[in-house]
Structure 1
Amino acid sequence: MIEIDGHAGGGQLLRTALALSLCTGEPFAMDGIRGKRERPGLLRQHLTAVEAARDIGGATVEGALPGSMALRFTPGGIRGGDHRWTIGTAGSTTLVLQTVLPALWMHGVAASLAIEGGTHNPQAPSADFIADAFLPVMAKMGLEASFALDSHGFYPAGGGCIRLDLHTSSRPAALDLSTRGEIVEKHARAIVSAIPSKIGERELIVAKARLGLVEGEASLHAVHGAVGPGNALSIRFRAEHGTAVFTGFGEKRVTAEAVAERACAQARAWLDAGVVADTYLADQLLLPMALAGGGSFTTLTPSDHARSNAALIEKFLPVEFEFRDDGRGRWTVAVSR
């Protein structure tokens, strides 16, 4: 059984451990889960990820209780079919998806997954990121799947739903993403739910000015029927060899202009560095490339989050990660056996 110190990271460390355990069949024990967080231990969204991993993997689980800081997870066989999980809060649906997707893919199991909760959460990849940035890269690695955002779920109300239909796919194949190529499409979309449209319009004014967007490269989308109010600015740049999505989230006492400025600053840093993967996509590429046994990509300065994830992956899989500083804010991350 692999022993893991949960103090070394947050919920992502747990989700990565669950995914790796399902992929390899190796049980693990994690203590000190989210030990350095203001609210340590398992929260509702983490418990849903554990529940999903248990269902997909026919696993035996000990310690899956609210606030628990210790978990024992022993996987069985991978199960496809229809699954539906409800977080019950605005906790991230996309992070639950990414907990179970690698194992289903690696084991060639078809499944239909529906997850209810938050779809646009400041602490997680948005549904737009999954659809436009993450899944297209996975398709290049061999994943065959279709994704849908059934309904939006904003923080703090949640109530959204995403669906993924996964077809029987070949195992992940190695991929080199060293060159971004030319930008072929750019677009900013302001999403508003139960708040004045003017907020989204103000965000788009900033995005147009900061990113040089022209007519047809910006749009306003009013959501109807969401459980609660919310706002997100989603900026998408599609290049020849990859797509980047940057998201700003509206929050109380923060102006629309400030929300847009933050998202535009992230986009500009990525544009100026000339890399393929932004910081968030870089985090998501580590596990699939490790499962493929090889691959590389260029990115911005790797986060501590990415480095701790890489170290955990090396505990489960016979691979090594290299983080190379190429200078001027550009890095190369490579994985090999």
Structure 2
Amino acid sequence: MEQIDGSTLEGGGQILRNAVSFAALLQKPIMIDKIRASRKQPGLKAQHAAGLNLVGRISHGSEMQGASKDSSTLQFTPGDLVAGSYSADPGTAGATTLLLQIALPCLLFANSNGVNTSTLRLRGGTNAIQAPQVDYTERVFLPFLQRHFMVNVGLTIVRRGYYPKGGGEVSVTVPTMKEPLPAITILDRGTVTSVRGRAYVAGLPKHLAKESRDAAVALLVKKGIDPSVIDIEYVREDAAKAFGAGSGVVLWAETDTGCILGGSSVGQKGVEAAEIGREAAEELERNLTQGGCVDEYLQDQWIIFGVLAKGKSRVRCGLPLTLHTRTAIWLAEKLTGVSFTQIPDEEGKTMVLECEGIGFMPKSHKETPQDIMEER
């Protein structure tokens, strides 16, 4: 059983999600201790436990101990990944996007069992702090997977849910892969051709969304973005499609080489609407200034897919590498045996991350009658 120190580097939920996904795919039993040891409230939160139990259901015949709230140790012996329809609900405002993160790699390579597409119904928060907003996942992360890894994941926002009650729901469709993911090469950031976005409020006056939008536009123009390429909408969510009150801004910039980089901010009590817009614009501008082909969140999210891909993947990232990225690399090397090479540019402004993927496909997917006869 592979031992994993859950307090290493980032020391949070990311170690948990990536480790369990890798374990389920590689059929490798793991034990994680010191889970979220450096957090104010260590151990599993409801959202983490919901994600772990979701993988436990996808991994038929698995054994999982410690997958409950406040637990600081987890043991997981995986079973057979099986495509199908699954759901998860932490009963809190825990992020639906983080539930998707842990389940997605597992479902991509699940035994189809005659099912070519799996479905997920994920409940909880859709727009929260310390997690990707669902709009970022929809507009940046999933298009990245489709363009570069040829994975077409569908996402529908059924209902938005906000802190502290949650109550949101998203529906996701995940294809069953018939061959390994392709390696990717993304080295040229290119020139920004458009900046789009969404400033929203739910259960609050619409003019607050407009104030956020206007502040975001003003800052982007001040930082040198051509106003003619900026298109940010402002909306008040339909009360029938939103649970609770919330606000925020999600921005994404597209370049002429196909890169998409994001910036976002979530409204909090006591923070002015204009400040929310400025925070999102500053984050986007920072990611653009760093010169990477991925933003600070995609920087670590592509790692698990690059490791599973067949061939050498190379992605230019901005500096410094985030703690989440360093953690994802450490865990991937520990559990799969891959090695990452870090190649800085001559000016030391960006870093190319390079790895030779394992070309993962479950053995059961590879076996044809001819394969079985040759083994015998």
- The TM-score normalised by the length of structure 2 is 0.86
Deviation readout 1:171-201 (Å, 9 max, x if unpaired): 2110011112232321131110001112211
Q: Does residue 311 in structure 1 map to residue 330 in structure 2?
A: yes
Query: 1:233 touches 1:248 (CA, 8 Å); kept in 2?
Result: yes
Q: Does residue 117 in structure 1 map to residue 119 in structure 2?
A: no
Query: 1:106 touches 1:172 (CA, 8 Å); kept in 2?
Result: no
Q: What is the one-letter code of the residue matched to 2:149? A: M
Query: 2:81 touches 2:109 (CA, 8 Å); kept in 1?
Result: no
Deviation readout 1:85-127 (Å, 9 max, x if unpaired): 1121111111111101112213464311110011111111111
| 2-structure distance, mates of 1:36, 1:222 | 38
Query: 2:81 touches 2:111 (CA, 8 Å); kept in 1?
Result: no
| 2-structure distance, mates of 1:111, 1:43 | 26
2:33 aligned partner: 31
Out of 61-70 and 145-154, give the one that drifted further: 145-154
| 2-structure distance, mates of 1:322, 1:209 | 39
Match of 1:199 among 208, 211, 215: 208
Query: 2:65 touches 2:76 (CA, 8 Å); kept in 1?
Result: yes
1:297 aligned partner: 315
Deviation readout 1:227-269 (Å, 9 max, x if unpaired): 2100010111122322122111110111222222221111112
| 2-structure distance, mates of 1:184, 1:150 | 31
Q: Does residue 333 in structure 1 map to residue 348 in structure 2?
A: no
| 1-structure distance, mates of 2:153, 2:218 | 36
1:68 aligned partner: 71
Query: 1:142 touches 1:171 (CA, 8 Å); kept in 2?
Result: no
Deviation readout 1:1-27 (Å, 9 max, x if unpaired): 110011121011101111111111101
Query: 1:107 touches 1:171 (CA, 8 Å); kept in 2?
Result: no
Deviation readout 1:123-177 (Å, 9 max, x if unpaired): 1111111111111221221213211111111222211111111223232110011
Out of 260-269 and 29-38, give the one that drifted further: 260-269
| 2-structure distance, mates of 1:65, 1:131 | 29
| 1-structure distance, mates of 2:272, 2:259 | 31
Q: 1:191/1:336 Cα in 2 relative to 1: closer, same or farther (>3 Å)?
A: same
| 1-structure distance, mates of 2:252, 2:111 | 31
Query: 2:121 touches 2:172 (CA, 8 Å); kept in 1?
Result: yes
Query: 1:241 touches 1:276 (CA, 8 Å); kept in 2?
Result: no
Q: Aligned to 2:154, what secondary structure does the other structure show?
A: strand
| 2-structure distance, mates of 1:17, 1:105 | 16
Q: What is the one-letter code of the residue matched to 2:163? A: Y
Q: What is the one-letter code of the residue matched to 2:158? A: D
| 2-structure distance, mates of 1:183, 1:319 | 34
RMSD, matched Cα: 1.7
Query: 1:52 touches 1:85 (CA, 8 Å); kept in 2?
Result: yes
Query: 1:133 touches 1:242 (CA, 8 Å); kept in 2?
Result: no
2:157 aligned partner: 149
Query: 1:32 touches 1:41 (CA, 8 Å); kept in 2?
Result: yes
1:3 aligned partner: 3
Shift of 1:274: 2.8
Q: Does residue 159 in structure 1 map to residue 176 in structure 2?
A: no
Percent sequence identity over aligned pairs:
28
Q: 1:216/1:247 Cα in 2 relative to 1: closer, same or farther (>3 Å)?
A: closer
Q: Aligned to 2:150, what secondary structure does the other structure show?
A: coil
| 1-structure distance, mates of 2:111, 2:217 | 43
Superposition pairs of residues 61-100 of structure 1, within 5 angstroms:
61-100=64-103
2:105 aligned partner: 102
| 1-structure distance, mates of 2:72, 2:332 | 21
Q: Aligned to 1:7, what secondary structure does the other structure show?
A: coil
Q: What is the one-letter code of the residue matched to 1:335? A: C
Shift of 1:45: 0.3
Shift of 1:318: 2.6
Aligned residues: 337
1:173 aligned partner: 182
Match of 1:232 among 236, 240, 248: 248
Structure 1 residue runs without a partner (length 5+): none
Query: 1:248 touches 1:263 (CA, 8 Å); kept in 2?
Result: yes
| 2-structure distance, mates of 1:130, 1:95 | 10
Q: Aligned to 1:308, what secondary structure does the other structure show?
A: helix
| 2-structure distance, mates of 1:295, 1:106 | 19
Q: 1:80/1:296 Cα in 2 relative to 1: closer, same or farther (>3 Å)?
A: same
1:222 aligned partner: 236
Structure 2 residue runs without a partner (length 5+): 222-226, 358-376
Bigger-Rg structure (1/2): 2
| 2-structure distance, mates of 1:163, 1:29 | 31
Match of 2:42 among 40, 43, 60: 40
Q: Aligned to 1:334, what secondary structure does the other structure show?
A: strand
Q: 1:76/1:111 Cα in 2 relative to 1: closer, same or farther (>3 Å)?
A: same
Q: 1:216/1:63 Cα in 2 relative to 1: closer, same or farther (>3 Å)?
A: closer
Q: 1:205/1:62 Cα in 2 relative to 1: closer, same or farther (>3 Å)?
A: same
